[in-house]
């Protein structure tokens, strides 16, 4: 929580940051689906990366607000129909990004702090070109290919084994000494030359048939479209290639370092990228980025950056993952492209929290292979600062918000009759509620609440989104249409759509079969996990991570509601329990209690409980972990492992990490300087462990001794 010089909470800045974070999270999810699910990106990688970067900047500035709003732990999109589903034995993760030399150096410094290494301890990296293709996972048993899958949403992909078998770079049988079970991961791509040839052939075939040619926008789209052909013979006619770079589930690890594993891949018969190299120092890692960037245009395939990975696999294991990405790897992307176009209009979009966001409607222009017709203008202050006006020629960059941003105005080309843009003081919705912008905030917000149809529809769209109820066949357009016709007014109405089956079958572009499929999909979602339901409710500052924390700590929906009711009293034990959950503070607690106390929200929840079977939270299996389900607190200076690593390790073993000591805590792990938390634990009869005793309890070997490093 930010404070001013008097120590009072600066709630205005917090509210503005929370609003922007919620907006970013929702838009990230939309573009994940466009990129991974439909192979039809609306933005470039640079624009998407810049969105993530802005989100991370806000996380750093407002950690108490942002922790729960991390958009998603998944990294792709819900698998499409037409292929059998495959659950990955190990999730297929995405990568965090570094945008310049300084951020790459900070990536290494951050790992050094996490591992509690001394300043002079070197971290060796492996640098590999980041291929602009489609990720695939190949499962081998006794050296023979038995299954191949897409990334999908990172947890569940599509079985495309038959199509992958047509790629000559993918061996059916591996050579040499191979683990009994082995999953290889890599990138399917199409060369620049083959891409041009494919598009020419498409044009020739269309011309011969007297039709308009449907050509691919770029090699990645061509590769993705080829992999999703239901007929593998069509895929066989497409010249696809494959670079192997990593692994998933493996019965026994045949290497101690990343570079050794790349050597094993080559021994088994895979192609690996010849530009991959070991970087002994951070200076060498910086240098290889600039070297490969200079070769980029001459390479026979598209790359969009460099991926750096910690070479030591034991360090990779210790570093683990955070949210959607491994801590031990980072992607350094190449710079974004720019283009010039005309701003035709400025529209105002209203989000589910009432935030009013200005959006530029543009004369369509192609940037980086993607046609752009919309760009974010962020807020009214940004419009005023750049003096953006309707009719201006503007420079567009694929590195702004989730949709591209306007970098600057070409003032020399400004029409003489242009006038400054006036931001509306009322919501553009039919209600026309006053748009309020409290002093000190950057966001103007519709005050209409649930009476504003724009907010209500956006909340419904969020409710059925991929990481919430994920109802196949019920997207944004369908929600809007059903709302317009009065079929869906609140979330529970979704589960009563079957009462309108006959009417639905008469709707244009639906048809009998699609309606039956939709109603079946809705029925399949009547049982929902607690964490997904909490996320679906769209509570401000409550993203997937916070939803999982709440579900893990309360267990059932009944206990969650009871806990929120009791926590309305800020002096109560229930409120203390809520804010004591690690990564949930007073600001998030305020949003939660306010949501559950609101009568309209309570009516919606009662209605949902009548329609749904809300399952208790199911924690991931931690095997025979002795701390699974236990609550732990770390205090003092940990001398063998950084605080962040210790928390991550505990959560990986199924433990809950709390921020302060109470009678509900099972273990306090106390290092030197533990102070009041250790004293309070002893007074409450909570077991206090030394760092060494903690490692013995969880069955982990003590890491090599290092000087304490502050997190």
Which residues are known catalytic residues?
130
Token pair recorded at residue 10: 């600066």
Nearest-angstrom CA–CA distance, 408 and 360: 13
Can you tell me which residue has the tokens 């805590």? Answer: 665
Closest CA to 390 of 348, 452, 427, 433: 348
Alpha helices in 620-675 (DSSP H): 643-652
Nearest-angstrom CA–CA distance, 147 and 159: 7
Q: Are strands 125-131 and 303-310 parallel, antiparallel or unpaired?
A: antiparallel
E strand residue ranges, 25-68: none
**Rounded to 5°, angle at Cα 187 from 181 and 189:** 140
Nearest-angstrom CA–CA distance, 375 and 324: 26
The length of the chain in residues reads 711
Q: Taking every pair of C-alpha atoms in the chain, what is the biggest distance, in angstroms? A: 86
Nearest-angstrom CA–CA distance, 583 and 376: 30
Residues 6+ away with beta carbon under 8 Å from 79 = 37, 85, 150, 152, 153, 156, 157, 158
Per-residue exposure over 347-363, b if at least 16 CB sit within 10 Å of its own CB, e if not: ebebbbbbbbbbbbebe
Token pair recorded at residue 289: 């980025």
Residues 6+ away with beta carbon under 8 Å from 139 = 145, 146, 147, 148, 149, 181, 182, 183, 248, 249
Nearest-angstrom CA–CA distance, 705 and 695: 13
Nearest-angstrom CA–CA distance, 299 and 617: 49
Residues 6+ away with beta carbon under 8 Å from 104 = 98, 282, 285, 286, 289, 308, 330, 332
**Rounded to 5°, angle at Cα 180 from 251 and 133:** 75
- Residue 262 phi/psi, 5° resolution? -60, -40
Nearest-angstrom CA–CA distance, 342 and 375: 12
Nearest-angstrom CA–CA distance, 260 and 150: 25
Confirm if 361 and 343 have CB atoms less than 8 A apart.
Answer: yes
Nearest-angstrom CA–CA distance, 656 and 620: 12
Nearest-angstrom CA–CA distance, 473 and 517: 8
Residue 652 pairs in a beta bridge with none
Nearest-angstrom CA–CA distance, 219 and 200: 13
Confirm if 585 and 504 have CB atoms less than 8 A apart.
Answer: no
Per-residue exposure over 203-213, b if at least 16 CB sit within 10 Å of its own CB, e if not: eeeeeeeeeee
Terminus-to-terminus CA distance in the chain, angstroms?
Answer: 19
Q: Work out the number of other CB atoms within 10 angstroms of the CB of residue 121.
A: 10
- Residue 577 phi/psi, 5° resolution? -60, -40
Closest CA to 166 of 235, 83, 244: 235
Residue 35 DSSP code: I
CA distances from 352 to 359, 360, 445 (A): 16, 20, 10
Distance of CA 527 to the CA centre of its chain: 24
Q: Are strands 667-670 and 631-635 parallel, antiparallel or unpaired?
A: parallel
């Amino acid at each position: 929580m930010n404070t001013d010089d008097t120590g009072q909470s600066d709630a205005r800045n917090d509210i503005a940051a929370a609003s922007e974070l919620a907006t970013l999270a929702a838009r990230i999810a939309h573009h994940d689906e466009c990129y991974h699910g439909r192979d039809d990106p609306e933005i470039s990688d640079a624009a998407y990366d810049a969105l993530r970067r802005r989100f991370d900047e806000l996380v750093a500035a407002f950690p108490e607000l942002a922790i729960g709003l991390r958009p998603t732990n998944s990294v792709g999109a819900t698998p499409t129909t037409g292929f059998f589903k495959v659950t990955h034995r190990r999730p297929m993760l995405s990568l965090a990004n570094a945008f310049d030399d300084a951020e790459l150096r900070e990536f290494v410094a951050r790992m050094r702090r996490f591992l509690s290494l001394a300043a002079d301890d070197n971290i060796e990296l492996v640098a590999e070109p980041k291929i602009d293709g489609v990720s695939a996972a190949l499962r081998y048993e006794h050296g023979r290919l038995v299954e191949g899958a897409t990334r999908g949403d990172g947890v569940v992909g599509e079985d495309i084994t038959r199509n992958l078998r047509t790629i000559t770079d993918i061996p059916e049988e591996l050579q040499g000494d191979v683990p009994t079970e082995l999953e290889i991961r890599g990138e399917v791509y199409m060369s620049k030359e083959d891409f041009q040839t494919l598009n020419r052939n498409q044009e020739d075939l269309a011309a011969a048939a007297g039709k308009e040619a449907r050509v691919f926008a770029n090699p990645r789209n061509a590769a993705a479209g080829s992999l999703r052909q239901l007929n593998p013979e069509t895929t066989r006619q497409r010249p696809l290639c494959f670079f192997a770079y990593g692994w998933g589930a493996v019965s026994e690890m045949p290497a101690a370092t990343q570079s050794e594993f790349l050597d094993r891949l080559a021994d088994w018969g895979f192609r690996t990228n010849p530009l991959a190299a070991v970087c002994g120092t951070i200076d060498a890692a910086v240098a290889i980025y600039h070297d490969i960037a200079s070769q980029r245009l001459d390479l026979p395939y598209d790359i969009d950056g460099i991926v750096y990975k910690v070479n030591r696999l034991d360090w990779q294991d210790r570093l683990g993952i955070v949210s959607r990405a491994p801590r031990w790897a980072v992607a350094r992307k190449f710079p974004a492209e720019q283009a010039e176009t005309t701003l035709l209009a400025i529209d105002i979009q209203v989000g589910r929290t009432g935030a009013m966001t200005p959006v530029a409607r543009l004369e369509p222009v192609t940037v980086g292979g993607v046609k752009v017709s919309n760009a974010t203008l962020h807020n009214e202050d940004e419009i005023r600062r750049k003096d953006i006006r309707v009719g201006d020629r503007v420079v567009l960059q694929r590195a702004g918000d989730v949709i591209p941003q306007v970098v600057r105005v070409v003032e020399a080309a400004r029409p003489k009759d242009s006038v400054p843009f006036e931001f509306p003081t009322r919501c553009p919705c039919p209600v026309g509620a006053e748009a309020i912008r409290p002093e000190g905030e950057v966001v103007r917000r519709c005050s209409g609440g649930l009476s504003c149809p724009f907010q209500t529809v956006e909340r419904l769209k969020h409710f059925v989104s991929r990481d919430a109820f994920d109802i196949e066949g019920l997207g944004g357009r369908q929600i809007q249409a059903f709302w317009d016709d009065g079929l869906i007014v609140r979330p529970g109405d979704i589960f009563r759509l079957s009462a309108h089956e006959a009417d639905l079958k008469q709707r244009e572009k639906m048809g009998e079969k699609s309606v039956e499929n939709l109603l079946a999909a809705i029925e399949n979602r009547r049982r929902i996990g607690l964490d997904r339901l909490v996320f679906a409710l769209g509570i401000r500052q409550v993203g997937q991570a916070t939803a999982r924390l709440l579900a893990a700590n309360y267990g059932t929906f009944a206990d969650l509601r009871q806990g929120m009711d009791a926590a309305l009293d800020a002096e109560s034990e229930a409120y203390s329990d809520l804010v004591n959950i690690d990564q949930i503070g007073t600001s998030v607690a305020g949003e939660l209690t306010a949501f559950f106390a609101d009568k309209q929200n309570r009516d919606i929840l009662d209605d949902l409980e009548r329609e749904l079977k809300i399952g208790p939270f199911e924690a991931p299996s931690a095997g025979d972990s002795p701390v699974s389900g236990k609550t732990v607190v770390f205090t003092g200076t940990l001398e063998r492992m950084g605080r962040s690593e210790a928390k991550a390790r505990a959560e990986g073993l199924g433990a809950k990490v709390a921020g302060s000591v109470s009678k509900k805590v099972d273990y306090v792990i106390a290092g030197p300087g533990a102070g009041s938390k250790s004293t309070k634990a002893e007074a409450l009869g909570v077991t206090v462990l030394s760092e060494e005793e903690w490692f013995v309890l969880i069955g982990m070997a003590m890491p090599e001794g290092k000087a304490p490093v502050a997190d």
